[in-house]
Amino acid sequence: MSDIRQDPRFRAIVRAQLSRRSLMRGAGGVGVAAALAACGTGGGDTTSNPEATVEDKSETEKLVRWANWPAYLDYVEDTKKYPTLDKFQEATGIKATYAEDIDDNDAYYGKVQGQLKNGDDIGKDVITLTDWMAGRLIRQGYVQKLDKANIPNAKNLNAKLQDVDFDPGRDYSMTWQSGYAGIGYRKDKVGRDLKTLDDLWAPDLKGKIVVLSEMRDTVGLIMLAQGTDISQDFSEDDFKKGLEELQKHVDSGQIRQVKGNSYLEDLRSGNAVACIGWSGDILLARFEEEDDNYTFNLPETGGTLWSDNLMVPIASPHKANAEKLIDFYFDPAIAAEVAAYVNYICPVDGAKAEMEKIDPSLVDSPLIFPTEEDLANVKVFRSLEPDEETSFSEQFQQVIGN
């Protein structure tokens, strides 16, 4: 596996500051487009709520409200501004509010599910959720069908992402970014490289490990280490075997905590020295703190890949404005500007050519345009049927103490 930390272009990325959860993965030996095709989770029927009728006030209320994950959009610390969002407001006359409200898929769902079920406005017009959660909301009729006439740039979505199993034809969602989960650590605190999941369970690291509350990432990495191909039709016994391994390390105190996006604070404070985490977060810490000890590796047994998706909640009264926002970010020039900051794999065709104009040093960066070698070493957690999702999630929550 290539070590992206040794890439000579890596330092050039500093000025862009990295974001939340990094890059994407795919099946062995395939290209980026083919890997993107694998990004889909969530089974069941795709239906909208036929009883939900919402008046779209976009013409009279020039407003769009966006909920996203922390550090997931280009940002200038000195001015506290999001440059591309400012450009959107200038180009459209639509005021855009932006909130880093999403720390964990399940936690966010728990906050808004009651309102969504009742057909109430949750106070957001665009939400950004991971494939499997996007699939759940689509099945439950909690998001509005997109009017592609308002999103002409939808044609720029990578062809292999135009049709995914949780949203055939992309009627309800558009990919935002994609990323890896793997091993993060502070080399100065650990004193060695961590390349496998077994390395996290070393006795001297007891009580100093944090892992993600995203089931598919944490249990997925463990299952990969056990030899299970999480992209294929694994059994419930395979899942339980992975869960038992997690339980062992929670019960023994090897794992300090199971957390959402806030796990990075444990690394920063020194309460933890290693984690199952997202590459973008680890790299963000590395450059924000100018500390090369922050390290991210894809495990030798494989990492996980996820994608996040833009959707419009069922009772949003600004649907057309939301669609204009989505369209704006699928302009290759804007997508490249975002990618140059967040360094996630960009789903927008044409962005690579635009990157030549923004920063040629990033065109070949594996952080934005991943290598075949890295893509061959990652897997997408397979789609779960609704009953599996319920059962697996309940078992996982019991293990992590929720």
Alpha carbon of residue 392 to chain centroid? 20
Whether 318 has a pLDDT exceeding 80, the answer reads yes
Tell me what the mean pLDDT of segment 227-254 comes to.
97
**pLDDT reported for residue 320:** 98
Q: Count CA atoms within 13 Å of residue 355 on its CB side.
A: 24
Assigned domain for 78 exists: yes
Confidence category of residue 325, pLDDT binned at 50, 70, 90? very high
Q: Are the C-beta atoms of 116 and 313 separated by less than 8 Å?
A: yes
Q: Are the C-beta atoms of 13 and 21 separated by less than 8 Å?
A: no
Alpha carbon of residue 162 to chain centroid? 18
| Beta-strand relationship, 274-278 and 209-212 | parallel
Alpha carbon of residue 364 to chain centroid? 22
**Of the candidates 283, 313, 332, the residue with the CA atom closest to the CA atom of residue 115:** 313
Tell me what the mean pLDDT of segment 128-155 comes to.
96
Clarify whether residues 261 and 351 are in a common domain.
no
**pLDDT reported for residue 359:** 87
pLDDT mean across residues, the chain? 86
Whether 195 has a pLDDT exceeding 70, the answer reads yes
**pLDDT reported for residue 31:** 35
Q: Domain tally for the chain?
A: 2
- 390 burial type by CB count under 10 A (0-12 exposed, 13-18 middle, 19+ buried): exposed
Assigned domain for 128 exists: yes
Q: Residue 69, SS3?
A: coil
Q: Residue 79, SS3?
A: coil
Which tokens sit at 345? 């794999």
Indicate the range of 22-26, 134-138, 362-366 predicted with least confidence.
22-26
Clarify whether residues 168 and 195 are in a common domain.
no
Q: What residues make up the domain containing 44?
A: 32-178+306-373
Per-residue pLDDT reduced to its tens digit, 73-114: 999 989 999 999 999 999 999 999 999 999 888 899 999 999
Tell me what the mean pLDDT of segment 266-273 comes to.
95
**pLDDT reported for residue 402:** 67
| Beta-strand relationship, 174-186 and 303-311 | antiparallel
Q: Please report, rounded to a whole number, the percentage of residues in the chain having pLDDT higher than 90.
A: 66
**pLDDT reported for residue 50:** 44
For the chain, what is the radius of gyration of the CA atoms? Answer: 20
Confidence category of residue 8, pLDDT binned at 50, 70, 90? very low
Q: Are the C-beta atoms of 153 and 331 separated by less than 8 Å?
A: yes
**pLDDT reported for residue 27:** 29
Clarify whether residues 59 and 157 are in a common domain.
yes
- 137 burial type by CB count under 10 A (0-12 exposed, 13-18 middle, 19+ buried): buried
Q: What are phi and psi of 294, to 5 degrees?
A: -70, 120
Of 219 and 289, the one with more pLDDT: 219
Clarify whether residues 265 and 391 are in a common domain.
yes
**pLDDT reported for residue 367:** 66
Clarify whether residues 164 and 185 are in a common domain.
no
Assigned domain for 23 exists: no
Q: What one-character-per-residue DSSP string does 110-178 give?
A: HHHHHHHHHT---S-SEEEEEHHHHHHHHHTT-BPPP-GGG-GGGGGB-GGGSSBTTBGGGSS-EEEEE
Clarify whether residues 57 and 85 are in a common domain.
yes
Of 257 and 25, the one with more pLDDT: 257
Q: Are the C-beta atoms of 186 and 282 separated by less than 8 Å?
A: no
66: CATH: 3.40.190.10
Whether 4 has a pLDDT exceeding 50, the answer reads no
Sign of CA dihedral 111, 240, 256, 182: negative
Whether 358 has a pLDDT exceeding 80, the answer reads yes
Clarify whether residues 74 and 171 are in a common domain.
yes
Clarify whether residues 339 and 324 are in a common domain.
yes
Assigned domain for 326 exists: yes
Assigned domain for 1 exists: no
| Beta-strand relationship, 174-186 and 274-278 | antiparallel
**Of the candidates 163, 241, 224, 196, the residue with the CA atom closest to the CA atom of residue 379:** 224
Distance CA 120, CA 193 (A): 49
pTM for this one? 0.74
Question: For residue 214, what are the contacts with CB-CB under 8 A and spacing of at least 6?
Answer: 104, 105, 130, 181, 260, 306
Whether 368 has a pLDDT exceeding 80, the answer reads no
Clarify whether residues 388 and 251 are in a common domain.
yes
Tell me what the mean pLDDT of segment 232-254 comes to.
97
Assigned domain for 27 exists: no
**pLDDT reported for residue 14:** 31
Distance CA 289, CA 279 (A): 16
Per-residue pLDDT reduced to its tens digit, 175-188: 999 878 999 999 99
Q: Count CA atoms within 13 Å of residue 83 on its CB side.
A: 16
Distance CA 48, CA 46 (A): 7
**pLDDT reported for residue 52:** 56
Whether 33 has a pLDDT exceeding 80, the answer reads no
Clarify whether residues 174 and 213 are in a common domain.
no
Q: What are phi and psi of 95, to 5 degrees?
A: -75, 130
Assigned domain for 165 exists: yes
Alpha carbon of residue 209 to chain centroid? 21
Tell me what the mean pLDDT of segment 283-295 comes to.
85
Distance CA 342, CA 70 (A): 11
Tell me what the mean pLDDT of segment 1-23 comes to.
35
Indicate the range of 17-21, 66-70, 150-154, 277-281 predicted with least confidence.
17-21
Q: Are the C-beta atoms of 317 and 56 separated by less than 8 Å?
A: yes
Tell me what the mean pLDDT of segment 338-366 comes to.
87
Clarify whether residues 227 and 147 are in a common domain.
no
Indicate the range of 46-50, 157-161, 189-193, 342-346 predicted with least confidence.
46-50
**pLDDT reported for residue 285:** 83
Clarify whether residues 120 and 201 are in a common domain.
no
